[in-house]
Amino acid sequence: MFRRYLHSFNPFFEPFPRHSPHFPSQSNSPTALSQWSPQRPTQRVKSLDLITSPFMNPNPTVNISVESNASKSQLLSVDNNQLDNPLVAYNRKLDFCRRNSRYLAIKGICEEMQQTKIKPDLQTYNILLSSYEPLGDVPSSLKLLDDMALAGITPDLTTYHILLRTCASAPRISQDAHFRELIFDLIHNANLKLNTITHECYLEALVANGELERSIEYIENLRKKNIQPTVKMYDNLIQSAISLDISEEAFKLLKMAEEDQLPLYVNLYFEVLRGCSDDYNIEGVHYCWNKIIEKNFTNLDEGACIDALNVAARFGKPQLAAQIIVYLTEHRKVSLESHHLEPLLEAFIGDNDLKQAMDMLSIMRSTGLEVNIKTASPIIDVIHTDPEMIDKAYFALESLRKEGKPIDIVAFNAIIIACRDIRPKSRVGGVVNSDDPGTNKRFTSNADLHRAVETYKAAESLGVKPDVHTFNALLNVCVAAQHRELGEQFWKEMKEKNIRPTIESYRRMIFLACSQISDDYEDAFIYLEEMKSQNMLPPPSVYERIVKKCVQHDDARAKIALEEMNNFGYKPSPALRDLLRYEQGSRNLDNQSFDRQRRRSPGYYEEAKGTGQESPLKAIDTKIELNDLDQFFSAITKSKITRK
């Protein structure tokens, strides 16, 4: 009766040696249990006997002590004289081995049952079918179901539940919807009434096969039939939707579960929050966060909070961002860092609240965090290219000053930096576009010098002290506007205030010196030497700018700058290499044009004969075969070099 079971069972998950799958003969030969490895500790066998003995012998007066030299087959064998119902004891032993994944032991128990001629019942088959569940072996389970039919045992609803769970446990590559539907049809053919567990098992099999859409339709049909879905059903569907990066469906299922007034797991809100954060679903994040605060869930991890914080920053939700920061400090006891407060600053900007965004820079500095121009980059990204936004940012600083709040120097510098990219308006209205045809790009400036200078003049009234970054921003505006005189004035004022220039300061002064159309760029070499005298390593962009300027004016110092650039380990950029090739090609063309004009002159060959020089063509070795083009062109090249 167990022949199919013994042949089809997979013994690879058992840590014991694999035995022959042949069905044992009716003899007194030792069972598979007696062939366990003798290297197993005796204490483990004793503990197993103490666990299974009460099941085998319900009589408490029976002595269950075990000698140390007793064989393992004796420990797990069944004494029919001590049991009223041996089948119950065997079923308990089978269930114990199933729960501990001892598959070869199950095989041995089946052999003992056959030797003792004990017929299995429905519970026996259900236990054996449950052994296939973690393996996901549906074909073998169906074979065992056929064995039940041959034995005259009718499966019950629990049997089909086990089969459906076995379908769900099968590996994704082995999933087969045919087996699942076959089992479901068997339930209907047996006229068994479906219960909640049946729906759970069927939904679990659908989800395991990746049929999320059909699973959602199934649960909606249950609701239409007034069948209450369980929390486990919603949990499986929500987890599947999140794993497939479909946060909208997960959020929808969560709200459906709330409509059914189910006691939802805390973890469901956390998982939906994480999924919506990954997909930047602000509605789902906001809803789940409010539920977390409402239900006072305090074990949400910091990573999920930061993900939700970034979503609040992107969609301009400063209140949500502030709630998350309060949650981190009060419940998670997290020390605030820049990556906690920067999203709040971005949220204020997204909410079009420049005043609070500017104030956040001062708050961050007061907490001991480092504030630099990178921190203020969201502010610059919003206000640059728009004069009205720059004015709005400046008025926000004035408002903070009137309220007695400190103004951070980075907020002040951000306004000047934003003036770098503003395009001046034309006389007829609108903005000058340097890409329009007919526009002289050399005289088209994207900087607003007036706003930059006026902002700098208001430093004292705003209560800020300009630093080196302030002057670097001003110099950058001068470079964009090609206003050398104003840049030199700022450079002089910086020296008067005893502010030590940085590498960026020298770089911008060199760029400013090379930005003029005239040949007066000697100051660029002065700034370069001064820079090196202060042990500052010039960046490669400085050398490239000087080399380009020298090449454009046929300055021999371009070669010196290139050599120095090479000594520092810098390689010319592709743009610089293209420029050098272009200039070299232009000169070669000029030389060739001069040679052609000279050869066309009437007395050229007579002059060559009078001086004893050979003509260029006669300088070619006549032994060279002219069919070889490479040698021919090489000879011409050598002849030109010789003539020169």
Cα-based angle 494, 500, 503 (whole degrees, multiple of 5): 105
One-letter-per-residue 3-state SS of 249-262? HHHHHHHHHHHCCC
Element (H, E) at 247: helix 247-259
Arithmetic mean of pLDDT, 508-534 = 91
Arithmetic mean of pLDDT, 440-453 = 68
**Chain Cα centroid distance, residue 515:** 43
Predicted confidence at residue 78, as pLDDT, reads: 47
Predicted confidence at residue 576, as pLDDT, reads: 82
Q: Please check the confidence at residue 578 and state whether its pLDDT lies above 60.
A: yes
Q: Record the tokens describing residue 261, joined without a space.
A: 């007034």
Q: Please check the confidence at residue 64 and state whether its pLDDT lies above 70.
A: no
Q: How far apart are CA 379 and CA 364, in angstroms?
A: 15
- Residue 275: Cβ within 10 Å count: 28
Predicted confidence at residue 339, as pLDDT, reads: 94
- Residue 164: Cβ within 10 Å count: 27
Predicted confidence at residue 22, as pLDDT, reads: 28
Predicted confidence at residue 602, as pLDDT, reads: 55
Q: How far apart are CA 446 and CA 420, in angstroms?
A: 7
Predicted confidence at residue 58, as pLDDT, reads: 34
Q: What is the pLDDT of residues 165-183, one digit of tens each?
A: 999 998 888 788 888 999 9
- Name the more confident of 8 and 273: 273
Arithmetic mean of pLDDT, 14-22 = 31
Q: What's the pLDDT band for 614 if we cut at 50, 70, 90?
A: very low
Q: Please check the confidence at residue 271 and state whether its pLDDT lies above 80.
A: yes
Predicted confidence at residue 581, as pLDDT, reads: 75
Q: Which of 228, 245, 305, 254 is nearest to 281 (CA)?
A: 245
Predicted confidence at residue 446, as pLDDT, reads: 65
Q: Is 515 left (phi over 0), alpha (psi -120 to 50) or beta?
A: alpha
Q: How far apart are CA 356 and CA 353, in angstroms?
A: 6
Predicted confidence at residue 586, as pLDDT, reads: 56
One-letter-per-residue 3-state SS of 163-188? HHHHHHHCCHHHCCHHHHHHHHHHHH
155-159, 404-408, 447-451, 597-601 — which is least confidently predicted?
597-601
93-97, 177-181, 294-298, 578-582 — which is least confidently predicted?
578-582
- The mean of the pLDDT values for the chain is 79
Which residue is associated with the tokens 């600083």?
A: 397
81-85, 148-152, 181-185 — which is least confidently predicted?
81-85
Contact 116, 132 (CB under 8 A): no
Arithmetic mean of pLDDT, 118-136 = 92
157-161, 354-358, 569-573 — which is least confidently predicted?
569-573
Q: What's the pLDDT band for 588 if we cut at 50, 70, 90?
A: low
Q: How far apart are CA 541 and CA 221, in angstroms?
A: 68
Strand partners, 425: 431
Alpha-carbon torsion, ordered 321, 326, 327, 331, to 10 deg: 160
Predicted confidence at residue 341, as pLDDT, reads: 95
Q: Please check the confidence at residue 395 and state whether its pLDDT lies above 60.
A: yes
Q: Please check the confidence at residue 510 and state whether its pLDDT lies above 70.
A: yes
Distances in whole angstroms, Cα of residue 99 to Cα of each of 49, 93, 133, 223, 533: 16, 10, 11, 35, 80
Q: Which of 124, 134, 131 is nearest to 155 (CA)?
A: 124
Q: What is the pLDDT of residues 208-266, one digit of tens each?
A: 998 999 999 999 999 999 999 999 999 999 999 999 999 999 999 999 999 999 998 88
61-65, 80-84, 217-221 — which is least confidently predicted?
61-65
Concatenating the DSSP letter of every residue in 64-104 gives ----TT--HHHHH---GGG-S-HHHHHHHHHHHHHHTT-HH
Predicted confidence at residue 390, as pLDDT, reads: 95
44-48, 231-235, 330-334 — which is least confidently predicted?
44-48
Q: How far apart are CA 436 and CA 440, in angstroms?
A: 9
Arithmetic mean of pLDDT, 8-25 = 33
Q: What is the pTM of this model?
A: 0.70
Q: How far apart are CA 434 and CA 443, in angstroms?
A: 9
